[in-house]
Chain A
Amino acid sequence: MNFQIATLLGQDGLTNGAIYALLALSILLVFTVTRILLIPLGEFVTFGALTMAAMQMGKTPKLEWLLLGLVLIDCALDIYQQIKRHIDRNKMKMVALKLGYAVIIIALLNNLSLSEIPMIAQIALTLCLIVPIGPIIYRLFFQPLADAPALVLLIVSIALHVTMVGVGLLLFGPEGARTQPFSDTGFRLGAVLLKSQTLWVILVSIFLIVALFIAFERTLYGKALRATAVNRMGARLQGISPIFAGKATFALAAFIGSASGILIAPITTLYYDSGFIISLKGFVGAIIGGLVSYPIAAIGAVAVGMIEAFSMFWASNYKEIIVFTLIIPFLIWRSMNSHNVEDDE
């Protein structure tokens, strides 16, 4: 291995690592607030990437039907619940707003010539299409189970992943897709050639991480979510709605997931089922952080990316095995530190 190869691999590792770090952070966020291990996070990644790809090919992404379907079910449930109790004017306004939003997005998708609008508009449309799916999924699948044992939540999470992979196949087909890079220029730093997309990924990741940090440290809503993560019952008694917390974290997860997909789509070809392995690597990072520590999880995730890139060079066939056996030392470390027999549930 010479210096040039090492820098190339290092860039790859850093790019992937940055994505895994983003995913690890949203996994942690969702887990601490709702106790759900969000396995389907990877599907948001593929949805984001494949929607972008469809737009750039000038096709209307079929994901609009998923959004429309979910919004319709969500609104139908809202109306049904109101009829059963009493009709609340404000809530009816919300229903109209949700329906209006879906209609506007779909109208935009069908009337713009999607391949010609600027990339920033494509990205915005993709995010507008996918992010609302997150909270609706929480409402339909997890909200009725808010008090269920953690195991049930995990199983629903896995089942949701299985379903979403199927939906991905139905909507995007079995072909893989890759999108145009954000910009074409490369940078030269001394003897090292930096790919522009690498820089984009790293910069956007850092920006998002800092933005999340500020949001959680400085804003009231961020603090409310943190309070829920620390003590669910206590937060509830302080008037923080667990439903709000769940929907908000799922919206954030959908946002981070699809943004990650958009970021890496120019680098790797993604298929409808590529998301699982990607999100699992985020999980490896999250586990290294012990499912509690954000900074350690982020560092762990970057390490996962690096190890993956370099094992690609040394033993490409065993890449996945190396990455997934990576968590075993951490599991051993955990098991050595967990001395007491715990009585969960």
Chain B
Amino acid sequence: MKSRNLIIIVLVILAIAPQVLPTFQITLLNYIGLYALVVLGLVLLTGVGGMTSFGQAAFVGLGAYSSAYLTTTEQLPSWLAWSAGSPWVGLLIGLLLTAAVALFLGALTLKLSGHYLPLGTIAWGISLYYLFGTMSSMGGYTGISGLPSLSLFGVLLDKGEKIYYLIWTILMVAVWITSNLLNSREGRAIRALKGGQLMAESMGVNTFRSKMVIFLISALFAAISGWLYAHTQRFVNPTPFGLSMGIDYLFMALVGGVGSVWGALLGAGILTMLKQWLQDWLPLVMGGNGQYETIVLGLLIIFMMQRSPGGIWPLLVKLAPASWRKQNHIKITSSAAELPRRDLPQKGKLILEACNVTRRFGGLVANNQMNLKLHAGEVLALIGPNGAGKSTMFNQLSAVDTPSDGEILFLNQSLKGKSSRQVAHMGMSRTFQHVKLLTTMTVLENVALGAHMRGNKGIISSALHIEREEEQRLLKEAQYQLERVGLGEHLYTEAGSLSLGQQRILEIARALCADPCVLLLDEPAAGLRHKEKQALAELLKKLRQEGLAILLVEHDMDFVMNLADRIVVMEFGEKIAEGLPEEVQSNPAVLEAYLGGAE
């Protein structure tokens, strides 16, 4: 059975449910649908993007209150008089307002790392809740009642079983949009947010933009849910938009499985039903009628976090037969056009130059008056004993770090003030000393991330999957680069399951995918076997032939001496020698640095 068939079965069950279930169950399903829509946004934000938000309920409230106010107020502002209190205009205004608020809050908090973001979301969650409660035009804590029902194509959706179809259709569209988005060029950038931001930036991804995009999407999902809620209940007050509901939404996401779109549905379903059931039974057991279900739910979450932090969905997936689990990979059609290539500079042209670069960390001088030049069609190796300052130099050359003095020129432009993303766009590509891969993504997807700058289709076309032609071209390029480095048979393997040597090679393929004119390689041969090293040397020679400029930081002398055209030797942050491999090998200063001088 294919997962597609499974989805069809679920859809059919959902479609006939209102015909057979009693009203109470349908109301419950409506709530599950409304919650799932918010939780879906959280899956995108927290599960995929790695940003935790406790404030989603506030966005639900924005959506609900905008429409509630516009559809019930006696005096519409004159510029809105034409809308005549239509809920659909309410939706539009609600979405615009939410987007504006989310942009503002996102600009404030998304740059923050670690704990500040969740704490910030708690703060605004509380503030907006009190704001709903204190604004008298919004009915204060008593709320607004008498909201109109929605009507669609002349059908009045005034009963639970009628609005059910609207809620679940919107939810299914949202699921479709989300999974499309994740499965695209923009989606790869979003999935890189969790644990790969530095790498993504140096592949030309604007990570702040990606964060903002998913933050906006999750806020808009929440606002739509709030709008539906308001017109289902036909009454709003601040309670369902408070922080405790925000916490509940996050719990739903965690219980279901925060890493998968279907986890959102599962979590919303399980927690809503469980809560309902506990509210019925606990008072009988414990006496009184307090909200004792919170005790059980809290303990349940703690237990889940200790035992299965990924949620229930991954457990279900593990239980399912292997044939259901098989993922459908996009087939790469060979007819897809090739991506345009950059014109490489003429061989021998100066590409990258360090002029008197000094880098100080406090009192420590890591690089002192370093000079080096890299030309097109040349392999330059930077070698030196441990602690010589090679990595510092490498970081400055790749614009991760800025020199304290002196400057670095790339294609005659100073790198001062440039981010690694801008440098990537100018044509520099790099690998990392400590391999930076997205271990749960396939090899192909990892490499395709390198081609990010070479596509230009945006979020909307990704969400609707009308960018498939470009996607084919990007994937084809990734496949070509993988075949070129010899990983052609591992296209659909999880990147994390490759050996360390293969992972290093993968990084080179990814860097090549960006179509660079200069390639910076940080210890590419470390961890490679002899045959692999030979193959890598062959590849680099071929790239040199094509006119690429290659800078290499490496410890493996055999590898360096057989490959490099010129060598720069560093010790204690300074250049002690430069020249052809043979010259360097016989240079007394180099011999002393490596072998120690004769006392």
**Which A residues fall within an 8 A CB radius of B?**
37, 141, 144-145, 148, 150-152, 154-156, 158-167, 169-170, 173-174, 277, 280, 283-284, 287, 291, 317-318, 320-321, 324-325, 327-328, 331-332, 334-335, 338, 341-345
Contacts and interface: CB of A to CB of B under 8 A. Distances in A.
B401 to A, nearest CB: 10
B286 interface: yes
Contact of A174 (B251, B286, B290): B290
A140 to B, nearest CB: 9
Nearest to B133: A317
B198 A155 contact: no
A158 B134 contact: no
B295 interface: yes
A170 B290 contact: yes
20 contacts: A141-B302, A144-B306, A152-B309, A156-B302, A159-B299, A162-B244, A163-B294, A163-B295, A169-B292, A170-B292, A277-B126, A283-B119, A283-B122, A317-B134, A325-B124, A331-B108, A335-B108, A335-B109, A338-B111, A342-B197
Given A145-B306, A151-B52, A335-B109, A343 B298 contact: no
Contacts of B291: 166, 169
Contacts of B123: 280, 284, 324-325, 327-328
Contacts of A318: 130, 134
Contacts of A144: 306
B299 A163 contact: yes
Contacts of B201: 341
A37 B198 contact: no
B120 A331 contact: yes
Contacts of B108: 328, 331-332, 335
B294 A166 contact: yes
B294 A162 contact: yes
B297 interface: yes
Most B CB within 10 A of own CB, among A158, A165, A318, A320:
A158
Contacts of A164: 298
A170 B207 CA distance: 46
A20 to B, nearest CB: 15
Given A159-B301, A163-B302, A343 B197 contact: yes
Contacts of A161: 298
Contact of B118 (A154, A321, A327, A341): A154
Contacts of A291: 115
A62 to B, nearest CB: 13
A335 B130 CA distance: 26
Instruction: Identify the 6 closest CB pairs spanning chains A and B, nearest first.
Output: A163-B298, A166-B295, A159-B301, A166-B294, A162-B298, A335-B111
B195 A343 contact: yes
Contact of B127 (A160, A325, A331, A345): A325
B309 A320 contact: no
Most A CB within 10 A of own CB, among B109, B123, B244, B301:
B123
Given A331-B108, A341-B207, A342-B113, A324 B126 contact: yes
B362 interface: no
B130 A145 contact: no
A154 B309 CA distance: 13
B197 A162 contact: no
A164 B112 CA distance: 30
B136 to A, nearest CB: 9
Nearest to A326: B123
A204 B426 CA distance: 62
A8 B63 CA distance: 41
B306 A338 contact: no
Contacts of A148: 305, 309
A287 B293 CA distance: 32
B340 interface: no
Given A277-B126, A287-B116, A324-B126, 6 more contacts: A144-B306, A159-B305, A166-B292, A166-B298, A169-B290, A341-B207
Contacts of A156: 301-302, 305-306
Contact of A280 (B122, B244, B251, B294): B122
B54 interface: yes
A150 B52 CA distance: 11
A331 B130 contact: no
B400 to A, nearest CB: 9
Contacts of A345: 50, 195
